[in-house]
Amino acid sequence: MGNKCKMYVDIMACNPEVTGSCFLCVLKLPDRQTIKFIVDCGLFQEEEYFCFNNDFPFECDNIDFMLLTHNHVDHTGRIPLLYKKGFRGKIYTSKTTKSLLPLALNDSYKVLSEIYKRKNLKRLYEEKDVDMALEYVEGIEFNKKTNVTPNIDITFLENGHLFGAAMILVEISYPDQQPINLLFTGDYNNKNYFFEIGDIPKEVKDLRLSVIIESTYGDMSVKEVNNDFFQKKVIQAVSERKTIILPAFSLGRSQEVLLEIKNLQDSNVLDKNIPIYFDGKLAHAYTRILLNFEIKEFLPSNLTFVDSEIRETLLNTEDTKIIVTTSGMGTYGPAQVYIPYFISKKQSLILFTGYTADGTLGQELKEAKQGDFVKIGGLVCKKNADVAYCNQFSAHAKQEELIELLNKFNNLRSVLINHGEKHKKQIFAEKVLETINVHNVAILDREYFFRIGSFGIIKSLSTKF
Ligand SMILES: [Zn+2]
Ligand SMILES: [Zn+2]
């Protein structure tokens, strides 16, 4: 059999902006065999793209396998839908992500069922699809090359974005052909509050490589991070005897916020008599799992895990208190109870601790002026509370840190930019072209497949769905 035609892989991102992460990769081998795999399979959370949740721009039953970078809903939320639509391949992920995934998928199922019921729409998938998906998950160790098909090896590299988060290296080989090496950064951070991150192995740095990189904060400098804001805001609100609501994501962010509160207590900046409340079933469940990991202690003193009974009493006291609650963007979870209640009270601070996507309550409140009326879950409320946003806990690398990551690679051919708002992807693309020694730079979205060979991008192909 002649090897006249060279192998290549066509890559398309299903998500135009941040949420709904999912790459379709179609590998054509010289023997005309086709291997299809996807990387991540997340939920669309931006209102504008919510309708994309119903289907995939590809047939699911001929996908061979899936790679999962980390356990965030914008990367995992539609995994069960894949199985409902006929996918029966394995999901390769890190061992930690494997241990966290059942909680995430079962929770997404409940949240989505509620949303679709509210919108009077048919459920996306059933509980049995969640169970089936979980049976196909395989946990992989970090830094250990694993063979997944005769021509494809994968390696999970350490990543500070979240417990268990990985960058995934995909090495494609074929006899007498130059290999194709792809690195999917997933959501990336160069540091983590709880654990150390090892450097990328030298043999990976030396590979001829195409990197598919996130750009959530591709336009933002590390200088724009305000590391004092959270402390100043919380301490001031405590001195004014306010109730402080801290919406936080259930995994990672909640625990970071608790650790930060503990640090403030330990350094005597925050009075230990101020009660700390922690609400959110999923956040509680993750916290219980994480307490068994070998990470630093993060629970502050005077902490109460809140159930629905305690929640009700919290709404009826004026005392100074700090409530860490899910969801991080304010739209789901007990935040749906606290925010409508406390938003109209001048004696409260609502301090968002993470990214708020367009169309979420967190973002709506940002856009509303003080004294404006806002509609929250059907309730009309006046914005009297102090609503603020801090960026110090960000789990995403900033522009300089993303560039620093790319600079680690000695033979970088192409950079493909994903997971960012449109204008941020553009700004980051320009920065990469200006500062990095790279053959070509592309912006991924649903409009193009990029054909990648051993030496980087060969061409782009328009998609029409
Ligand atoms: Zn993430
Ligand atoms: Zn993400």
Average pLDDT, the chain: 94
| Residue 2 reports pLDDT greater than 80 | no
Distance 208 CA to ligand 1 centre (A): 27
| Residue 202 reports pLDDT greater than 50 | yes
The residue ranking higher by pLDDT, 119 or 217, is 217
Query: Mean pLDDT lowest for which of 42-51, 88-97, 266-275, 394-403?
Result: 42-51
Distance 203 CA to ligand 1 centre (A): 27
| Residue 186 reports pLDDT greater than 50 | yes
Determine the 3-state secondary structure of 311 from DSSP: helix
The residue ranking higher by pLDDT, 243 or 293, is 243
Query: Mean pLDDT lowest for which of 78-87, 338-347, 354-363?
Result: 354-363
| Residue 1 reports pLDDT greater than 60 | no
Among 388, 34, 447, 454, CA closest to 233: 388
Among 67, 9, 10, CA closest to 42: 67
Name the amino acid, one letter, at 45: Q
pLDDT one-digit tens code per residue, 10-46 = 999 998 888 899 999 999 999 999 999 999 999 988 7
| Residue 461 reports pLDDT greater than 60 | yes
Q: CA 3 to CA 9: how far, in whole Å?
A: 16
Judged by its nearest atom, the ligand closest to the C-alpha of residue 74 is: 2
| Residue 263 reports pLDDT greater than 50 | yes
Share of the chain above pLDDT 90, in %: 85
Distance 12 CA to ligand 2 centre (A): 16
Q: CA 315 to CA 144: how far, in whole Å?
A: 50
- Burial class of 2 by CB neighbour count within 10 A (0 to 12, 13 to 18, 19+): exposed
The whole-number average pLDDT for the span 236-256 is: 97
At residue 3, the pLDDT reads 47
CATH class, domain 226-389, is alpha beta
Q: CA 300 to CA 260: how far, in whole Å?
A: 9
The residue ranking higher by pLDDT, 2 or 141, is 141
Looking at the DSSP bridge assignments, the partners of residue 245 are 323, 350
> What pTM does this model have?
0.92
Q: Chain centroid to CA 206: how far?
A: 28
The whole-number average pLDDT for the span 431-452 is: 94
Structure token digits, residue 362: 């967190």
| Residue 306 reports pLDDT greater than 70 | yes
Judged by its nearest atom, the ligand closest to the C-alpha of residue 104 is: 1
Share of the chain above pLDDT 70, in %: 99
**pLDDT band (50, 70, 90) for residue 4:** low
- Contact between 186 and 165 (Cβ < 8 Å): yes
Judged by its nearest atom, the ligand closest to the C-alpha of residue 216 is: 2
Q: CA 421 to CA 17: how far, in whole Å?
A: 5
Q: State how beta strands 348-352 and 386-389 pair.
A: parallel
Sequence-ordered list of residues with C-beta below 8 angstroms from that of 397, at least 6 positions apart, any chain:
188, 189, 190, 217, 405
Cis peptide before 327 (omega within 30 of 0): yes
Structure token digits, residue 140: 């992989």
Sequence-ordered list of residues with C-beta below 8 angstroms from that of 128, at least 6 positions apart, any chain:
none
Sequence-ordered list of residues with C-beta below 8 angstroms from that of 135, at least 6 positions apart, any chain:
none
The residue ranking higher by pLDDT, 19 or 278, is 278
| Residue 320 reports pLDDT greater than 90 | yes
Q: What residue spans of 170-251 are helical by DSSP H?
A: 202-205, 229-239
| Residue 48 reports pLDDT greater than 70 | yes
Determine the 3-state secondary structure of 40 from DSSP: coil
- Contact between 346 and 383 (Cβ < 8 Å): no
Ion ligand 2, residues whose Cβ is below 5 A away: 74, 187
Q: CA 232 to CA 235: how far, in whole Å?
A: 5
Judged by its nearest atom, the ligand closest to the C-alpha of residue 164 is: 1
Among 334, 339, 255, 329, CA closest to 290: 255
Distance 329 CA to ligand 2 centre (A): 14
What are the sequence ranges of the domains in the chain?
8-220+395-462, 226-389
Judged by its nearest atom, the ligand closest to the C-alpha of residue 19 is: 2
CATH superfamily, domain 8-220+395-462, is Ribonuclease Z/Hydroxyacylglutathione hydrolase-like (3.60.15.10)
Distance 309 CA to ligand 2 centre (A): 33
DSSP state of 218: T
Backbone angles phi, psi at 410, to 5 degrees: -90, -10
